[in-house]
Chain A
Amino acid sequence: MKNENERFDLLKRLTAARFMVEDLHLYLDTHPNDREAIAKFNSYLMQTKKLRESYEKSYGMLTAHDSFSQYPWQWINEPWPWDYEANFELNRGEN
């Protein structure tokens, strides 16, 4: 395991990119002809995929349907997302 800061930094960037995908996804449901929004969606999706891949390389599976596992089965490794230890601190000063 690499250090916690690095893991949280990666997770934070992944969470941010993943959120942009989610928000644009809902927007596009009611604006299917917005070409610019589709380009943004695709670009954030690309970022999300890359970040997810590099996170999984060091810190384990984020999905059980689209991630490879080492031996033994990695999916059940702790922490789970609802655990205190799984989450990064927000830098409240930035907001």
Chain B
Amino acid sequence: MWIYEKMLEYPVKIKNPNPKMAKIIITQYGGPDGELGAALRYLSQRFSMITPQAIGTLNDIGTEELAHLEMVGAMVRQLLKGASLEEIEKAGMSAYYADHDRGVYPASASGVPFSAAGIQSKGDPIVDLTENLAAEQKARATYEYLINMADDPDVIEPLKFLREREVVHFQRFGEALRIVQDYLQEPHLFIMPKPDFLNK
């Protein structure tokens, strides 16, 4: 089960609306390398994971991704809330506006609605953890591209925080993968001395 804490993991306080940034930051909400996909990927994979460390890591990083989803949603909302129609039109956001006004809808930067086709849950611990290492790197790269496009420190600071978390998650998944590999290599037999009659 889950419980909700009525605070963000890291503050989002954006003074100036900017639909141009909202249009691309939305990709970390509902895009192929976004937080929704990340949460769904880890929280689905955990059911078939092995070793307590790797199971806990999937469960808990999956949960943190939900807090990141909330932060990204807060960013998109604050960037859109006070934007004028003219600004929205100039930012090339008319199509989004027609479908969602200034609401937050899970889609990629190019407008493709969220799809689980971009994530995998393979039932194989090595496959899943290896996928997750790549996923964290893809998300890190996305945050870097977003930071490259941003010039408002109110926007850059939370993006930097989220980027940093991808780096930490990558590290934790690397450790989990090593733990699972070591576990799979251990002989799971109770060794006993061979009785003499078997040596004859």
A residues contacting B by CB (< 8 A) are 11-12, 14-15, 18-19, 22-23, 25-27, 29-32, 61-66, 75, 80-84, 86-90, 92
**A62 CB contact (under 8 Å) in B7, B12, B53:** B7
Leading 4 A-B pairs by shortest Cβ distance? A82-B74, A30-B175, A87-B11, A29-B56
B61 & A81 in contact (Cβ 8 Å cutoff): no
Q: At the interface, yes or no: B73 with Cβ under 8 Å from chain A?
A: yes
CB of B5 within 8 A of CB of A63, answer yes
Which residues does chain A contribute within 8 Å of B56, judged by CB atoms? Answer: 29
Chief secondary structure at chain B's binding surface:
helix
B20 within 8 A of A: no
Task: Evaluate whether A26 and B172 lie within 8 angstroms (CB atoms) in the complex, with A61-B6, A81-B74, A84-B78 already known.
Answer: yes
A82 close to B77 (CB less than 8 A): yes
Chain B nearest CB from A28 CB (Å) reads 9
Q: Which residue of B lies closest to A66 (CB)?
A: B3
> What are 9 A-to-B residue pairs whose CB atoms are below 8 Å?
A23-B168, A29-B172, A62-B7, A63-B4, A80-B6, A81-B70, A82-B12, A82-B77, A87-B8
Told that A82-B74, A82-B78, A92-B157 touch, could you supply 4 new A-B pairs with CB distance under 8 A?
Answer: A25-B60, A26-B64, A30-B53, A32-B52
The answer to whether A29 and B74 have CB atoms under 8 Å apart is no
> Is B176 at the interface (CB under 8 A from chain A)?
yes
Q: B5, A62: Cβ atoms under 8 Å?
A: yes
**Chain A residues whose CB sits within 8 angstroms of the CB of B64 once the complex forms:** 22, 26
If A19-B9, A88-B11, A89-B13 touch, does A30 touch B179 (CB 8 Å cutoff)? yes
How distant is B116 from chain A, measured CB to nearest CB, in Å? 24
Q: Which residues of A contact B61 (CB under 8 A)?
A: 26
Size bracket, chain B contacts: 20 to 34
Q: Is the CB of B60 within 8 A of A15?
A: no
8 A Cβ contacts from B1-24 to A: 3-15
Known: A22-B64, A82-B77. A15 touches B10 (CB 8 A): yes
Q: Is B74's CB under 8 angstroms from A30's CB?
A: no
Expressed in whole angstroms, the Cα–Cα distance for A36 and B84 within the complex equals 53
Residue B57, interface by CB 8 Å: yes
A37 to B157, CA, bound (A): 27
**Considering residues A26, A32, A90, which has the most beta carbons from chain B within 10 angstroms of its beta carbon?**
A26
Q: Quick one: given A26-B60, A87-B13, are A81 and B7 in contact (CB under 8 Å)?
A: yes
With both beta carbons as reference points, the residue of chain B lying nearest to A85 in the complex is identified as B13
Whether B12 lies near A87 (C-beta < 8 A) is yes
B195 CB within 8 Å of chain A: no
| Distance A75 CA – B3 CA, assembled complex (angstroms) | 13
Whether B153 is near chain A, meaning CB under 8 Å from some CB there, is: yes
Shortest distance from the beta carbon of A22 to any chain B beta carbon, whole Å: 7
Instruction: State whether A81 touches B8 (Cβ < 8 A).
Output: yes
